[in-house]
Structure 1
Amino acid sequence: MRTLCPPCRARWRPTVSRSSVFTQGFWLRDIHVPAAIALQRRFKPRPDDVIVASLPKCGTTWLNALTFATMARRAYPPAGADHPLRRLNPHQCLPFLEGLFKGGREAELEVLPSPRLMNTHMPLPMVPSAVPGCRVVYVCRDPKDMAVSAWHFLRRLQTDLAFSVVFESVCDGAVAFGPVWDHVLGYWRASTAMPDKVLFLRYEELLRDPAENIRKLARFLGMPFSAVEDEGGTVDDIVHLCSFGHLKSLDANKTGHLDPLLPVPRDALFRNGASGDWVNHMTAAMASRLDKIVADKMRGTGLTFQ
């Protein structure tokens, strides 16, 4: 029998790949509970910090790349042959808060020069000092596509994993860092209350018009593109550099693993990159069921996925 310390007020359950605990209204993988506690107690953002936030499998890798390329464009022109994104996986270009804080390595964050760029999957209540302490860029995705992407990703760890298991976990709200709706709504409400502090993006809109969304991102970061940059094609260069096809073709994204504790090959991050792939994996009844659950949870909030 697994025993949890009383302060966590947590329930334990096995999920699709690892054990997880339910604490403060969210499901976290048990290895991330120490990070959640440490982030709430010790994370001190600087006013010019930028945090990229999302649920897993909602466009994290792409948004990491876009934000890094946008913020670093003066030091590393996006068309340059020596750009870090041409030799490093996007996740290697900015620290993952959970990784630092779960291992007591937050001192590594303190020595980084400003403005710091970081990444997290944590729900907003787990990083309470982030808003209004710094800027947060959040991306959400149609939960149906998120479920499909999560299944393909998790199958690299558990080859016999059935899609129905992942689908039911999403419907139950028991995915990592979920429920989906509570995670998304936390950042959505913060973005409507403080639009200068939280930029809320949709994966599908990024796909439809990446250039315009990069411009929106740059304005939010206080780093709008100049007329010279526009005329020189800087935005288009960032679009190309960070495009799914280009990133997928690079050796840095074909070899190696994400994390010693999560031995998934980096190429698992670049499977499809499209929108609407759920139609190839869900029946109409499954899609309708998940749509209804999400619509019910988000009723009256002003946010929809349809």
Structure 2
Amino acid sequence: MASTAANTAVPSCPVPFKDVDDGTVPEHTPKDEFGDLVAALPRRHQSILELRLFHGFWLPEHWIPGTIAFQRRFSPRRDDVVLASYPKCGTTWLKALAFAVAARGAHPPAAGDHPLRRLNPHDCIPFIDEIFAGGEEAKLHALPSPRLMNTHLPYTLLPDSVVTGGSSCRVVYVCRDPKDMVVSLWHFLRRAEPELSFAETFESVCDGTVAVGPVWDHVLSYWRASVACPDRVLFLKYEDLLLDTGAGVRRLAEFMGMPFSAAEEAAGDVEAVVELCSFDKMKGLEVNKPGGGTAGRYKAMPRDAFFRKGVAGDWANHMTPEMAARLDGVVREKLEGTGLAFA
């Protein structure tokens, strides 16, 4: 007699990573495997992080073993989707939107038992670097297709199997006005280091020594890839998503190969995704309120730390006109001639 598991169809939509994470002890530890390589890299301290200069980017030290393992061992599937971003540029929102879009067949966005109503978006879509850093690739293999994964790595540090075009794996990148990013980053880091000054965070962004920086090199790595390979790399702006989230959701669904049908449009499914993933809705869920637990393996942060304001233009409440002009000038100079600009 066949087992129940053998007769169960493989889901045709993503499942929350937390639902397949069985807590298996890692079989290997890249931290030990690549320790000597990491120790030889240039080093600096920023807030709660120890940074190492790795191929032109200041990565948190604990990321690098996982990054190397990811580069060497990742085997993409045809319908994988990698969600990428610079930190504090809309990562949590992009995860929620992408999961709601991709999972809507099994989990209608208006359903009361939708996974995003009980789980933080970071529990639904894993940071792929953390999986490899923990030697937990078996959990990644256990995810049904299509797999949704997340990274803060620049495009140039993604595995060759993703960037060379040999696979049809898709990449979605979201960026944000650097001024608002600085403010969001500062507030986020202060949850772990309350005495951190805004000036210190601002200076690290301007001189390029911020975590995963220089910021402009990070953004440009994805911008150039999206121009060269628009069928494989989708470049989104946080501000555009705020202005017309419905249009962004449709664009995301189309790019992921899951466009909304006429029937879904008529039923209001796009609007239901927008409502489910709205800032106020997500921030108001018990799992995302203060006391709702933490997210992140190495520097665990309270889940409510991922939901502050979710607006554009808050930078004006934190930096002087001179500071804003300075950062705008640095970014404008770095982006000159690329076709990319921030309003």
Same fold per superposition (TM over 0.5): yes
1:148-163 correspondence runs (5 A): 148-163=183-198
- 1:277 matched to 2:309? The reply is no
SS class of match (1:262)? coil
**Aligned with residue 168 of structure 1, among 200, 203, 206:** 203
How far did residue 158 of structure 1 move?
A: 0.2
| Aligned counterpart, 2:52 | 21
Mapped partners of 1:42, 1:259: distance in 2: 22
Amino acid at match of 1:283: T
Mapped partners of 1:136, 1:257: distance in 2: 27
CA contact (8 A) 2:62 2:298 kept: no
Mapped partners of 1:114, 1:275: distance in 2: 34
When residues 286 and 104 of structure 1 are mapped into structure 2, their CA distance, relative to the original with a 3 A threshold, is same
How far did residue 55 of structure 1 move?
A: 0.8
Amino acid at match of 2:79: D
**Aligned with residue 177 of structure 1, among 208, 212, 221:** 212
Mapped partners of 1:73, 1:175: distance in 2: 37
Mapped partners of 2:233, 2:308: distance in 1: 29
| Aligned counterpart, 2:256 | 221
**Aligned with residue 107 of structure 2, among 67, 73, 76:** 76
TM-score, normalised via structure 2 length: 0.86
- 1:112 matched to 2:143? The reply is yes
**Aligned with residue 275 of structure 2, among 220, 240, 251:** 240
CA contact (8 A) 1:39 1:126 kept: no
Which runs of at least 4 in structure 1 moved beyond 3 Å after TM superposition?
4-9
CA contact (8 A) 2:102 2:258 kept: yes
How far did residue 29 of structure 1 move?
A: 0.5
Mapped partners of 1:93, 1:191: distance in 2: 26
| Aligned counterpart, 1:130 | 162
Compare 121-130 and 250-259 and name the one that shifted more: 121-130
Identity of matched residues, %: 58
CA contact (8 A) 2:50 2:61 kept: yes
How far did residue 99 of structure 1 move?
A: 1.2
When residues 237 and 7 of structure 1 are mapped into structure 2, their CA distance, relative to the original with a 3 A threshold, is closer
How far did residue 297 of structure 1 move?
A: 0.8
SS class of match (2:333)? helix
SS class of match (2:225)? helix
CA contact (8 A) 2:66 2:129 kept: yes
Amino acid at match of 2:102: M
SS class of match (1:76)? coil
CA contact (8 A) 1:9 1:23 kept: no
How far did residue 7 of structure 1 move?
A: 7.5
- Structure 2: give runs of 5+ residues left out of the alignment: 1-34
- Structure 1: give runs of 5+ residues left out of the alignment: none
SS class of match (2:300)? strand
Task: Calculate the aligned-residue CA RMSD, in Å.
Answer: 1.3
How far did residue 203 of structure 1 move?
A: 0.2
Aligned length: 303
Mapped partners of 2:86, 2:43: distance in 1: 20
TM-score, normalised via structure 1 length: 0.96
Mapped partners of 1:260, 1:71: distance in 2: 25
How far did residue 6 of structure 1 move?
A: 5.3
How far did residue 41 of structure 1 move?
A: 0.8
Compare 256-265 and 63-72 and name the one that shifted more: 256-265
SS class of match (2:172)? strand
Compare 235-244 and 99-108 and name the one that shifted more: 99-108
- 1:39 matched to 2:70? The reply is yes
Mapped partners of 2:218, 2:70: distance in 1: 17
SS class of match (1:51)? strand
| Aligned counterpart, 1:206 | 241
SS class of match (2:323)? helix
